[in-house]
Amino acid sequence: MASHLLLLSNSTVPGMRYLEHAIDAISEFLGDERTVHFVPYALADHSGYTARIQEALKPLGVTIVGLHTQKNPGKTLETARVLFVGGGNSFRLLKGLQQANLLEVVRQRVTKGELRYLGSSAGTNMACPTLRTTNDMPIVEPVSFESFGLIPFQINPHYVDPDPKVVHMGETRDKRIEQFLEENDVPVLGMREGAWLSRKGPQLRLAGVVGARLFLRGQPPQEFEPGADLSHLLHLPAHFDQSP
């Protein structure tokens, strides 16, 4: 048995319904599974968020079970088959996961191939070792930044390319990732909106309608197009809190 993950950069594409751009990929990911346990902690309205996911995945005939409705979410996930961790604020999401004591049970069951993991935006951030490459404001304070660690590298969802025509008074996304790499020798994959990663055991593939940019310390960024085999990222060394 091996890890099975689908990691979306985003949930919404202009001109399309919620999750519509990735509905075929989600269908393939689910296979015969028709019950999806959903983590709505990244948004304040847990019930409304869960209902939105139910409506979005209605064409697939799935039933969405919001973990906020479960008396013991950790116990529920001991037998669940599919987990969807939705987007929103990464700091709020991680704090909710910590308070519900879900990090270890998810990590173990996904690693063993017993639980399929679907993430979007902040949920994709949670699949990384840490949330440090999120774009979000720290509206709450988690106990630590450690997340699920289902992959050994970092992702920056909603990656936006620098626009030389825009006078930006702050830092570009590239600059923020560069600063991360000054303190951490860890690969960072900038996933543009409309991109996703699919992992089946040792195989990791980039898919979607756009590509992604890979950042490594001391190297120029590398571009990858949809369909690229990124399995090598599962074997690159990652060293956190290590300045040059």
Q: Which residues, listed in sequence order, are joined to residue 224 by a DSSP beta bridge?
A: 212
What CA–CA distance (Å, rounded) separates 65 from 58?
Answer: 13
What CA–CA distance (Å, rounded) separates 117 from 115?
Answer: 6
Strand 35-39 relative to strand 82-85: parallel, antiparallel, unpaired? parallel
Q: Pick the catalytic residue from 11, 136, 147, 198.
A: 136
Active-site residue 158, yes or no?
A: yes
DSSP E strand boundaries for 28-139: 35-39, 63-66, 82-85, 116-120
Helix (H, G, I), strand (E, B) or coil at 158: strand
What CA–CA distance (Å, rounded) separates 32 from 70?
Answer: 24
Is the alpha carbon torsion for 124, 126, 128, 134 positive or negative? positive
Q: Pick the catalytic residue from 11, 158, 185, 198.
A: 158
State how far the alpha carbon of 212 is from the alpha carbons of 21, 53, 81, 83, in Å: 17, 26, 29, 25
N- to C-terminal Cα distance for the chain?
38
Active-site residue 241, yes or no?
A: no
Q: Pick the catalytic residue from 121, 147, 185, 198.
A: 121
Nearest to 244 by CA among 216, 217, 215: 217
**Residues annotated as part of the active site:** 121, 136, 158
